Structure 1
Amino acid sequence: MNHKRHNAVWAFLASFSLLASSQIEAADVTVNLNTTYQTIDGFGGHQDRGWTGYNLLSADHNTLFGNDSGQLGFSILRIRINENQNQWSIDLPDAKAAASRGIKVFATAWAPPSNLRVSSGSSYKVDPNKYQAYVDHLNAFAKHMKDNGAPLYALGFQNEPDWCGEWACGSTTEMYNFAKNWGPKLRANGNKVITAESFNFNKGYYDPILNDATALANIDILGTHFYGTSKNSPDATFDYTNFKQKGKGKHFWMTEVYTDDVNNKGSNTWPLCLDVAYEIHRALALSNMSAYVWWYLKRNYGPLHISANNAQAATSEGKISKVGALMGQYSKYVRPGAVRVDATRKVQNDIYTSAFKKADSVVLVIVNRATSSKTVSFSIPGLKSTTGIKITTSGTKHLSDDGTVTVSNGNFSTTFDAQSTSTLIFKGNNMTSVGHRTRSMLESTREGFYKIFDISGRQVCMVNVTRGSSVGAEIRKFMPKAGLYIAKSLDGSSSFSVNIQP
């Protein structure tokens, strides 16, 4: 027998066996905590008394913006800039309630006042000769909100310029020129500036800005809507290469949508509502977006479900719908400031994973679109947790505690229900912490709005320091409990600790 040939054969078989073994043992999903993408700003929805006929109830504010059991943890509220100045206060109750909790409140204009319009096709647009007056109008709204306890986080100068007929129109060139030449003037009240928000993610509204460094510097957030897209849209619709290449330092928000047919069949229709979780996944994991904002918050197709779309039905407290629960699978656990990290995005045809980290937490959100349950293996090198919490929404579960997963050296497997979304939360990883420095007397009494966090990093309130007051005095009004708190100015320019004595 040829011993050299025999040895070579055995060496080949041995190497093949090792390769096969490694392939069998390889995890379906690998998470790389060191490869990072966008920072998350949050999730939320739109409120508009002018068009719905009602404000939210105090109980609704608690459900939407609180993050305890039976609450959604939303961190963004969108309102409309009414063209009629006499109507500017109708959404103040909701905006103030949100702002007092540290929620990001942003506003978008649909139409200019009638005296600033000029005909455009079958509709109208802002008269280019009156852009300064339009800027003054928008800034006056922002000042009104700020002066009345609801400072805007951001301001959008045009809703859906490509849906021409019901409100103001605007071509891609007009919206680019406005952003470039007038965008900076909209920061007069300390708010950020959002681009025109396309109806259907028309990248023609964003490419000219991304391709022009000056225009890009003059806006802060790119905003778009997902109408016209669906679960059947190819991934290429959402995978925006130009933004990934040139949008460094800017955030992209999905600022309005309801998914296909939910507006007709309601926000508890299953499995139709599962499209929401899949769409959020693609917004975050393909588009690198930092925010996802639903249309009306309280509607029979909203995150808060009511029986009919009228003021009478809205006198009852809204109940968390399947749409709300699916949004909550993200909003309750992928908190503002979390950073998306690399993860195998799609496995077994119908399993979609996105991963995030913040402070000592690692969070995975998994969407199973299959009509059968799926068992998936995971590997997270560097994960220190030995157990994780599993929360699930499905046809029979509703943000339900779905048990725990056991982790060994960063590896684990778990089974996901058919047509479901699950969130896996792992604590105790000590990656980052809320940064702050010692309070100085000057910072303690400086006027303005401050977000207040407890020592765990959880935001507990937002305070407004006026002349003669201090951060500590304002904290005591909301938080009678003694302890160490962290104050961060709304513009992010300062952060310091405040020790509240008994």
Structure 2
Amino acid sequence: MKYAVPKRSALAVLATATTLVGIGAAVVATASTSVAATTASVWLTTPDRNNLLRQQANVVFDGGGSGSTITVNPATTYQSMVGFGASLTDSAAWNIFNSPQRSSIMNSLFGSGGIGLSWLRQPIGASDYSRNFYTYDDGSADPTLSRFSIAHDNAYILPLVTQARSLNPKLSVMATPWSAPAWMKTNNQLIGGSLSDSNIGVYSDYLVKFVQAYQAAGVPIPYLSVQNEPNFSPPGYPGMLMSAGQQVSIINTLAPKLRAAGLTTKILGYDHNWDDTSYPQTVNNGAGSNVAGSAWHCYGGNPGGQSVVRNAQPSKDIFFTECSGTESANTFADTLWWQGRNLAIGTTRNWARTVTTWNMALNAQQGPVIGSCTNCTGVVTVDGGSVTYNAEYYVLGHLSKFVQPGAVRVDSTGFGQGGIENVAFRNPDGSVALVAINTGGTQSFRVAANGSSFGYTLPAGSMATFTWPGGTSGNPPAGRTGAISGLGGKCLDVTNGSTTNGNLPQMWSCSSGPNQTWTLGTDGTVRALGKCLDLKDSSTADGATVQLWDCFGGPNQRWTYTSGRDLINVASGKCLDVRNNSTADGAQLQSWACTGAANQKWTAPA
């Protein structure tokens, strides 16, 4: 039985989802006292389609339940989430844009009354799911890119992307090329060949121009990869082979050009299957700080490949960026089961910050498509005015409707195939979402959290999301309050006074304003403007990001102020450090092995 089929081959790859958790991924600790939820809300999808993300009766935390126990521990945290979604390919955009149900489809996909998709991966030029092959600079050699234009996308792609962003302002967009313009390649064709090394510079300029053009059209591109599936040369549609060494050279050329253009776009390496863990590690090592991490597809191997790379290189992010379902004898049930366990559960339990399927919408013939899979399925099937929401829609919806951008994955008891496979998240507002799929027969289980529990029975092959309120009780803890000063006499400062989760604090000339007023709480937290100083993803790597986040009292939000004037994070055992020993206004913070140097010394309020 086929669950996910490589668009490159007629052979199915049945990936086995794992529940690997990286060694040293997080440190278990007791958070501050939680509000005991009394009930949990439940949404259910069953393989017979009788329940399609349908809300069920609430369940009560009554201490009951039987069967295996899923214990959710919000104090143990892993990666933060960016979003969940698919791709508005040329074909997908064409299908939606020209449907009389366009408004309804877009609201169902991106609106708060639908599933609120929060992530798009957009092709840069044509892919196999295009009505024709194109790039943004076709024709003879054009090293100055004088012909560059995204006019093709203005007709129906950009209008839908901007509509999606209007429906969900938290949506993020990644962009990926399938091929450079033919004149940049070794074979002078869109199909086959590789990028000529002599054109690495102009290819980098081409990608910068794309990011600039989309930003000017109202679509920022926070993430970018430099080649889709670099280990594969498709025989019937645009693509190009790219060695890990060449990818390193491209990234190291592109990153400075992006910075010089004033763009903050992060570059992701690899963008291919789970079965090659060497390529992404080579790129991460060779590109260093120029690459943010690696992107992954489902057409070979299993999700555990992501953890192999994350455990070897914990400072690098993992993004899951493509997987297409296929038709089978029982397409809906098979896709719900396979994608539920491998994508919703498998990728996220193996560090993925995104979950991405492939085409957002295909027509009744599973196209338009050129030279590729003819039985692949989209999130939605659009046949004129008829619209069908496929299993992909509900798999993504069990995540995106309940797990907000900025949420963090938290610890939950993992079970393998045949059990209640699951993953849990804590949202920025403190609420908890537990996503589960039953990959065995109908079975009862117990969910334990906050010192209580509830029981539930999930039908075979069904998927459910449970949500309940979280947060901490009472007022913030007491503690010493005032400015925290450091290197060069500058003060620790909440950048722009922003309380957005993920805001990066900075060093700034002391002003005694509220954005420089910190409380060293009796619980070990360091707080300003209602947020906590937070070690991102509980990383133990030197150079790990220090950010502001909703307070929950986990070990990555607890700091020890020593008699030697160090601020040491409990999760990592490393010191709060001013990057590059900079005394300039705007200098950034990081976590680093304690050295006793001046850029790690702090004067805290008495």
TM-score normalised over the length of structure 2: 0.56
The alpha carbon displacement at 1:281 in A equals 3.8
The alpha carbon displacement at 1:319 in A equals 3.4
Q: Distance in 2 between matches of 1:423 and 1:338?
A: 15
1:255 corresponds to: 321
Partner of 1:123: helix, strand, or coil?
coil
CA, structure 1 residues 267+97, in 2 after alignment: closer, same or farther (shift >3 Å)?
Answer: farther
The alpha carbon displacement at 1:81 in A equals 1.0
Aligned partner of 1:191: which letter? T
The alpha carbon displacement at 1:411 in A equals 1.9
Q: Quick check: 1:361 aligned with 2:435?
A: no
The answer to whether the 8 A contact 1:154-1:194 is kept is yes
Q: Identify which of 212, 219, 223 aligns with 1:143.
A: 212
Q: Distance in 2 between matches of 1:292 and 1:349?
A: 22
Partner of 1:326: helix, strand, or coil?
helix
1:46 corresponds to: 87
Aligned partner of 1:73: which letter? G
Partner of 2:186: helix, strand, or coil?
strand
1:420 corresponds to: 462
The answer to whether the 8 A contact 1:77-1:98 is kept is no
Q: Distance in 1 between matches of 2:245 and 2:417?
A: 43
Identity between Structure 1 and Structure 2 (%): 23
Partner of 2:174: helix, strand, or coil?
strand
Instruction: Work out which structure has the larger RCO, using CA pairs closer than 8 Å and 6 or more positions apart in sequence.
Output: 2
Q: Which moved more, 1:327-336 or 1:340-349?
A: 340-349
Q: Quick check: 1:328 aligned with 2:397?
A: yes
2:185 corresponds to: 117
CA, structure 1 residues 138+208, in 2 after alignment: closer, same or farther (shift >3 Å)?
Answer: same
The answer to whether the 8 A contact 2:92-2:361 is kept is no
Partner of 1:269: helix, strand, or coil?
helix
The answer to whether the 8 A contact 1:109-1:159 is kept is yes
Q: Identify which of 289, 297, 300 aligns with 2:352.
A: 289
Within-5 A mapping of 1:111-190: 111-119=179-187, 123-165=192-234, 166=237, 167-187=239-259, 188=261, 189-190=263-264
Partner of 1:273: helix, strand, or coil?
helix
Partner of 2:425: helix, strand, or coil?
strand
The answer to whether the 8 A contact 2:88-2:122 is kept is yes
The alpha carbon displacement at 1:52 in A equals 6.8
Q: Distance in 1 between matches of 2:410 and 2:394?
A: 23
Q: Which structure dedicates a bigger proportion of its chain to helix?
A: 1
1:246 corresponds to: 313
CA, structure 1 residues 239+256, in 2 after alignment: closer, same or farther (shift >3 Å)?
Answer: closer
Deviations 1:117-139 (A, max 9, x none): 11399921111111111111111
Q: Distance in 2 between matches of 1:119 and 1:194?
A: 26
The answer to whether the 8 A contact 1:239-1:286 is kept is no
1:77 corresponds to: 120
Q: Distance in 1 between matches of 2:112 and 2:228?
A: 30
Partner of 1:319: helix, strand, or coil?
strand
The alpha carbon displacement at 1:76 in A equals 0.7
Q: Which moved more, 1:275-284 or 1:179-188?
A: 179-188
The alpha carbon displacement at 1:375 in A equals 0.8
CA, structure 1 residues 318+184, in 2 after alignment: closer, same or farther (shift >3 Å)?
Answer: farther
Partner of 1:196: helix, strand, or coil?
strand
Deviations 1:437-464 (A, max 9, x none): xxxxx979xxxxx9x99xxx9xxxxxxx
Q: Distance in 2 between matches of 1:228 and 1:190?
A: 32
Q: Quick check: 1:271 aligned with 2:301?
A: no
CA, structure 1 residues 162+348, in 2 after alignment: closer, same or farther (shift >3 Å)?
Answer: closer
Q: Which moved more, 1:143-152 or 1:215-224?
A: 215-224
Q: Distance in 2 between matches of 1:369 and 1:26?
A: 15
Q: Distance in 2 between matches of 1:205 and 1:361?
A: 38
Q: Distance in 2 between matches of 1:137 and 1:337?
A: 31
Q: Quick check: 1:304 aligned with 2:346?
A: no
Partner of 2:194: helix, strand, or coil?
strand
Partner of 2:267: helix, strand, or coil?
strand
Q: Distance in 2 between matches of 1:335 and 1:45?
A: 16
Deviations 1:441-489 (A, max 9, x none): x979xxxxx9x99xxx9xxxxxxxxxxxxxxxxxxxxxxxxxxxxxxxx
CA, structure 1 residues 186+162, in 2 after alignment: closer, same or farther (shift >3 Å)?
Answer: farther
Partner of 1:136: helix, strand, or coil?
helix
CA, structure 1 residues 131+333, in 2 after alignment: closer, same or farther (shift >3 Å)?
Answer: same
Q: Distance in 1 between matches of 2:317 and 2:402?
A: 20
1:105 corresponds to: 173
Aligned partner of 1:418: which letter? A
Structure 2: stretches of 5+ with no match in the other structure:
1-64, 126-134, 137-148, 367-376, 476-494, 502-545, 550-606
Deviations 1:2-33 (A, max 9, x none): xxxxxxxxxxxxxxxxxxxxxx9996222222
CA, structure 1 residues 131+420, in 2 after alignment: closer, same or farther (shift >3 Å)?
Answer: same
The answer to whether the 8 A contact 2:437-2:462 is kept is yes
The alpha carbon displacement at 1:329 in A equals 0.9
Structure 1: stretches of 5+ with no match in the other structure:
1-23, 307-312, 384-408, 434-441, 445-449, 458-491, 496-502
Q: Identify which of 213, 216, 226 aligns with 2:288.
A: 216
CA RMSD in angstroms, aligned pairs only: 3.4
1:89 corresponds to: 154
The alpha carbon displacement at 1:344 in A equals 1.1
Q: Distance in 2 between matches of 1:228 and 1:31?
A: 31
The alpha carbon displacement at 1:55 in A equals 4.5
TM-score normalised over the length of structure 1: 0.67
Partner of 1:205: helix, strand, or coil?
helix
